[in-house]
């Protein structure tokens, strides 16, 4: 661990690319049909998150394996032909590793403060990986939707919420700047899967008793847009879009500096 704002200067660091298929704004508009296969997704990164066709559960990509977290609480490895309407991946190589504080628990807000102390005021994207001992973690998982698809905000109201205790696992996700707006979730967007690959979901809150945080800075963004008439016609702009996305996804925005 080194001093604050280690990642504040991009010079001398490798350029890493975040690959994202579609936008969270499109999910907000109910564009939930998958149009990219998991096989194609994994060609672009070994770490990330997303969802599946018809918002059927949550996605965690770790070490080039894509896990499908279902609303009934089960987990399996997604087939390469399974499709996604939204996902983001990067080849994860940490620029910084930080040990979680010892002798006490670390909450979600405290983890965010820890990461922000090293990237505060920065306008880059960051991939965050936390391998940790978990005293308690609360997650939610969206259920498969039926056509006509509701928007993401409405669909999130029916998510299955579960709390898991006394286990070890990985929190994976991204910290994105506010200007990303309708493209992705502003702030921190995190998913969880346990080491046994049996439990997980979209992270709401947690208490961690130890572990390590890896932070990977991302300087390039490659956005793949769906090739569909529905996407071309959809209304994806609006002054309140960013707030609605944050509410639906539970994103915590970085503080204003």
pLDDT of residue 102: 87
Confirm if 64 and 42 have CB atoms less than 8 A apart. Answer: yes
For the structural domain made of 15-249, what CATH number should be given? 3.30.1330.80
CA distance 26 to 234: 8
CA distance 204 to 8: 28
- For residue 245, pLDDT over 70 is answered with no
pLDDT of residue 156: 82
pLDDT of residue 70: 96
Look up residue 74 and give its two tokens: 């089960």
Q: Where do the domains of the chain lie?
A: 15-249
Rounded to 10 degrees, the C-alpha dihedral 224/226/231/232 comes to: 80
Mean pLDDT of the 97-112 span: 95
Neighbours of 214 (CB within 10 A): 18
Rounded to 10 degrees, the C-alpha dihedral 41/46/48/53 comes to: 30
- For residue 2, pLDDT over 50 is answered with no
Mean pLDDT of the 221-236 span: 95
Mean pLDDT of the 33-49 span: 98
Confirm if 224 and 36 have CB atoms less than 8 A apart. Answer: yes
């Amino acid at each position: 661990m080194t001093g604050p704002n280690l990642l504040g200067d991009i010079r001398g660091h490798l350029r890493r690319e975040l690959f994202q298929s579609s936008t969270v704004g499109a999910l907000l508009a109910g564009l939930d049909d998958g149009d990219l296969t998991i096989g194609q997704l994994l060609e672009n990164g070994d770490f990330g998150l997303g969802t599946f066709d018809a918002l059927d559960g949550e996605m965690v990509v770790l070490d080039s394996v894509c896990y499908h977290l279902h609303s009934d609480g089960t987990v399996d490895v997604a087939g390469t032909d399974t499709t996604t309407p939204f996902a983001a991946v990067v080849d994860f190589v940490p620029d910084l590793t930080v040990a979680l504080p010892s002798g006490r628990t670390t909450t979600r807000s405290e983890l965010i403060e820890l990461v922000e102390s090293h990237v505060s005021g920065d306008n880059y994207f960051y991939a965050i990986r936390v391998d940790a001992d978990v005293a308690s973690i609360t997650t939610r998982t969206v259920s498969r939707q039926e056509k006509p698809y509701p928007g993401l905000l409405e669909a999130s109201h029916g998510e299955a919420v579960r709390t898991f205790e006394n286990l070890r696992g990985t929190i994976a996700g991204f910290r994105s700047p506010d200007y990303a707006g309708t493209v992705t979730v502003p702030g921190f967007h995190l998913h969880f899967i346990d080491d046994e690959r049996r439990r997980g979901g979209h992270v709401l809150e947690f208490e961690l008793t130890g572990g390590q945080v890896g932070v990977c800075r991302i300087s390039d963004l490659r956005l793949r847009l769906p090739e569909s008439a529905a996407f071309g016609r959809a209304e994806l702009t609006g002054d309140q879009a960013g707030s609605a996305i944050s509410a639906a996804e539970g994103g915590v925005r970085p503080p204003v500096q």
